[in-house]
Amino acid sequence: MAHAIWSGSINFGLVTIPVKLQTAVRTNDLRFNFLHKADEGRIQNVRRCSLDGEDVSYDDIVRGYEYEKGHYVILSDDDFQRVNVEATQSVDIVQFVELDEINPMYYDKPYYLEPEKKGRHAYALLREALKAMNKVGIAKVVIRSREHLAAVKPNGEALVLELMHFADEIVDADHYDLPETEKPHENEMKVAKLLIDTMTAKFEPDEFHDTYREQLLAMIEARAAGKSLPTGKPKARKASNVVNLMDVLQKSLEQTRAKHGGGRLATADEEEKPKRASRRKKSAA
């Protein structure tokens, strides 16, 4: 059984729901060590002063904030303790908001909230109420000595605590050179929608794999077993000679339909001809 990060409670109004905070995601990154090429000895990190070139012991290292180039404010452990937030072991919901009001970019990292036995009924009540009203709880929570903004959201049978970025951490899109809002050409929009519709499928997360990690791990296992893998670089996607966006969209449609076992797709103009003929008949009538 997974070890809880902490045991505490969800608090809103006068309601207290005892819960355990559990990890919801795990990283599968492969870990590598830096070694000396000649003898495979592990490389050690050396703490060395940039001014006198001397190695420095951990006891002689302090933390400083560079407020100007080359000028620092030195902070002691006591200084950090003075501003350290109290670890209350609680998820304090301060308000509820519509789920659709929150830009997904604010979400960062999810955790599961697992109810203690005596809190299961209240836990289920909050979960179902949030589902019925399409709302989430906005909360403050302290994890590992840092206060976070978070959202309490229903996810299936679970309540999930999703850590959020603060507003000043989100880079405004105005910082970048993006195209202005414009009305697309009618035919281009029609074919783009057809292409999106053709490529639309139910999201099955188990169908997606970290192929880079799988291939890298296979190579490592083969090397460890004294085997070698065939060399070769993946072929780069060939550049298209088509410069007309409409032609690219139409070609994409045809390839997508062929991939899914369909035949040639009608062009946007061909699809429009029967509609125009129908409109003319109605006008003549």
Q: Are residues 213 and 255 in the same domain?
A: yes
pLDDT tens per residue across span 189-215: 888 888 888 888 888 888 888 888 888
Q: Are residues 145 and 94 in the same domain?
A: yes
> Which residue from 53, 76, 52, 54 is spatially nearest to 63, judged by alpha carbons?
76
Q: Are residues 150 and 90 in the same domain?
A: yes
Q: Are residues 221 and 252 in the same domain?
A: yes
Q: Are residues 103 and 138 in the same domain?
A: yes
Q: Are residues 95 and 195 in the same domain?
A: no
Which pairs from 160-163 meet CB under 8 Å and 24+ separation? 160/24, 160/110, 160/111, 160/112, 160/113, 161/21, 161/91, 161/110, 161/111, 161/112, 161/113, 162/107, 162/108, 162/109, 162/110, 162/111, 163/107, 163/108, 163/109, 163/110, 163/111
Residue 279, pLDDT score: 58
Residue 218, pLDDT score: 85
Q: Are residues 100 and 221 in the same domain?
A: no
> Which residue from 269, 226, 217 is spatially nearest to 247, judged by alpha carbons?
269
Q: Is residue 18 part of a domain?
A: yes
Q: Is residue 234 part of a domain?
A: no
Q: Is residue 254 part of a domain?
A: yes
Residue 100, pLDDT score: 94
Q: For the chain, how many structural domains are there in total?
A: 2
Q: Walk along the chain (285 residues) and give the pLDDT tens digit of each residue.
A: 568 888 999 999 999 999 999 999 888 888 899 999 999 999 988 899 999 999 999 899 999 999 999 999 999 888 877 776 666 789 999 999 999 999 999 999 999 999 999 999 999 999 999 999 999 999 999 887 788 999 999 999 999 999 999 999 999 998 999 888 888 888 888 888 888 888 888 888 888 888 888 888 888 888 888 887 766 666 666 655 556 777 887 888 888 888 776 544 444 455 555 555 555 555 555
Q: Is residue 140 part of a domain?
A: yes
Q: Is residue 206 part of a domain?
A: yes
Q: Are residues 13 and 123 in the same domain?
A: yes
Residue 56, pLDDT score: 93
Please report, in angstroms and rounded to a whole number, the separation of the first and last CA atoms in the chain: 75
Q: Is residue 54 part of a domain?
A: no
> Cβ distance 43 to 57 under 8 Å?
no
Residue 211, pLDDT score: 83
Q: Is residue 180 part of a domain?
A: no
Q: Are residues 141 and 205 in the same domain?
A: no
Q: Are residues 195 and 165 in the same domain?
A: no
CA torsion angle for 73, 78, 79, 82 (degrees, to 10)? 180
Geometric angle at alpha carbon 273, from 270 and 275, rounded to 5°: 125
Q: Are residues 14 and 105 in the same domain?
A: yes
Q: Is residue 42 part of a domain?
A: no
Q: Are residues 264 and 132 in the same domain?
A: no
> Which residue from 22, 31, 40 is spatially nearest to 113, judged by alpha carbons?
22
> Cβ distance 45 to 34 under 8 Å?
no
Domain that holds residue 161: 6-25+84-169
> Cβ distance 62 to 79 under 8 Å?
no
- Alpha-carbon gap, residue 11 to 113, rounded angstroms: 12
CATH number assigned to the domain comprising residue 155: 2.40.290.10
